[in-house]
Amino acid sequence: MSKRIANPMKVITGPNTRWSYANVWEPKSINGGTPKYSVSLIIPKSDTATLTKIKAAIEAAYKEGEAKLRGNGKSVPALSAIKTPLRDGDVERPDDDAYRNAYFVNANATTAPGIVDADLNPILTRSEVYSGVYGRASITFYAFNSSGNRGIACGLNNLQKIRDGEPLGGKASAESDFATDDDEDFLD
């Protein structure tokens, strides 16, 4: 059995990570940029194991990317002075209940992520994966220095859906709309 060499910049999130803005089937272009697959990973503040791993991976990406972060300058900017992907939902999204008492990381990739269910079977039905499901994500952090913007970014590798959740974005599912026989909207 060969021992895998661990990548200190790679993290597998906990199973209570919620997916939002899940653009995982078709790449989308933002402001005319390269089309990318993306997801916002909402991590409960109570998931200290995942948050500790993410902070360590960000530090590892910072150390590994010092030359890139330095660019043409004489020194590497302090980690606290550059953009990092771990953000506080209570601070940045105070009006969004889904982000309450949680941190979030926006992850993206130019190649499609692999998507499996809890039993590791590939998910091929698009309606199975939506904003609001809970699952684990394989992500990798890396340094970037592009057009004067320097920081640490988060790449999306693969996703594992663990369980369904209330859909985010205000759209009700067909199941919830038709779960009752009542004709609530019917006027006698």
CATH (domain of 138): 2.40.50.140
Cβ count near 149 (within 10 Å): 10
Specify if 188 maps to a domain. Answer: no
Domain containing residue 89? 10-169
Provide the CB-side half-sphere exposure for 101 (13 A, CA).
3
- Other beta carbons within 10 Å of 97: 9
Is position 23 within any domain?
A: yes
Domain count, the chain: 1
Residue 27 in domain? yes
Q: Give residue-wise pLDDT tens across range 15-46.
A: 999 999 999 999 999 888 899 999 999 999 99
HSE at residue 87, side-chain half, CA atoms within 13 A, is 20
Residue 2 falls within a domain, yes or no? no
pLDDT digits 0-9 by tens, 143-188: 999 887 899 999 999 999 999 999 997 655 555 555 555 555 544 4
Cβ atoms of 82 and 69 within 8 Å: the answer is: yes
Pairing mode of beta strands 17-28, 10-12 = unpaired
For residues 145 and 69, is the Cβ–Cβ distance under 8 A?
Answer: yes
Looking at the domain assignment, is residue 5 inside a domain?
no
In a domain, 19, yes or no: yes
User: pTM value?
Assistant: 0.86
